Amino acid sequence: MLTHDAALDWIARWDRQQEGYLPDREERFTALIDAVEALDRPDPLVIDLGCGPGSLSARLLSRLPKARVISVDADPLLLGLGRAAYPHLTFVAADLRTPGWTDALGLDRPADAAVSTTALHWISPPDLRSMFAELATALRPGGLLLNGDHLDAGDATPTLARLERAVHDKQTERTFAGDQPEDWRTWWDAVEADPAMAALNAARTTAGADHHGSESHLLSQHTDALREAGFSEIGTLWQRGNNRLLCAVR
């Protein structure tokens, strides 16, 4: 059985392996939560898209304890970790790629913000367009999408794309100096080998929560989909190489 302390340990290990890809992860979290706080609402309603085990949601509530955060993901194992570690958070099982996913959120008013980190690049461009269109119906006018992710400049600006990746790679080299944390696959292999995680692993095999590579890694794929969904102002609030915080206003 998965205990509270074991879940916290697994999430700490998750956070560490994520930092291997994102040496500025905490700085990006801070910038994202700064933007939510700048909405100047005493009790903002926030949707965490592709929340994983709740790393962002927990940090957001720590900074903004009066906020209401609804954390949504399709992966039963990551949701199980989050529920065991953070019983004060609200986790919802829903696949952002499936139309009608907002129905599961139980919203009693339009959300002030939707946030996400290192999740939406897994979604294919067609599914991304439909997801953003549905998200727009769940946000209030003036509400924000805040998406922290690796988003490449793309083929239209090849020199910028190369430089963005170089800046990110050099920062990673400086930060870890040969002491790289475990990678994503190693973390998942360890989880799959833990008997306490057997039930969650079994649920995961039938949930359709698997990934098929970085399907929407271009900045233009996200900005175009957001414009098509009716978002107005779209721009980058924070950036280090191709690691950026994209903001869109409903």
* pLDDT tens for the 250 residues of the chain, in order: 899 999 999 999 999 999 999 999 999 999 999 999 999 999 999 999 999 999 999 999 999 999 999 999 999 999 999 999 999 999 999 999 999 999 999 999 999 999 999 999 999 999 999 999 999 999 999 999 999 999 999 878 999 999 999 999 999 999 998 789 999 999 999 999 999 999 999 999 876 666 666 799 999 999 999 999 999 999 999 999 999 999 999 9
Q: Give the integer Cα–Cα distance in Å for 46 and 27.
A: 20
φ/ψ of 231, rounded to 5, equals -70, 145
Let me know how long the chain is: 250
What integer pLDDT is reported at residue 54 of this predicted model? Answer: 98
pLDDT of residue 154: 86
pLDDT of residue 210: 65
**Torsion sign across C-alpha atoms 204, 82, 106, 133:** negative
Q: Which residues pair with 68 in a beta bridge?
A: 45
What per-residue confidence (pLDDT) applies to 155?
79
> Distances in Å between the alpha carbon of 215 and those of 49, 111, 204, 212?
16, 27, 21, 7
Which residues have CB under 8 Å from 21's CB, separation 6+? 118, 150, 172, 184
**Dihedral angle sign, alpha carbons of residues 48, 53, 55, 58:** positive
Give the H/E segment covering residue 247.
strand 243-249
pLDDT on residue 209? 65
The 3-state DSSP class for residue 59 equals helix
Cα distances (angstroms) measured from residue 184 to each of 21, 187, 189, 225: 9, 5, 9, 28
Name the residue among 73, 61, 63, 62 with its Cα closest to residue 14.
73
Residue 227: the pLDDT is 98
- pLDDT of 96 reads 98
Distance CA 135, CA 177 (A): 40
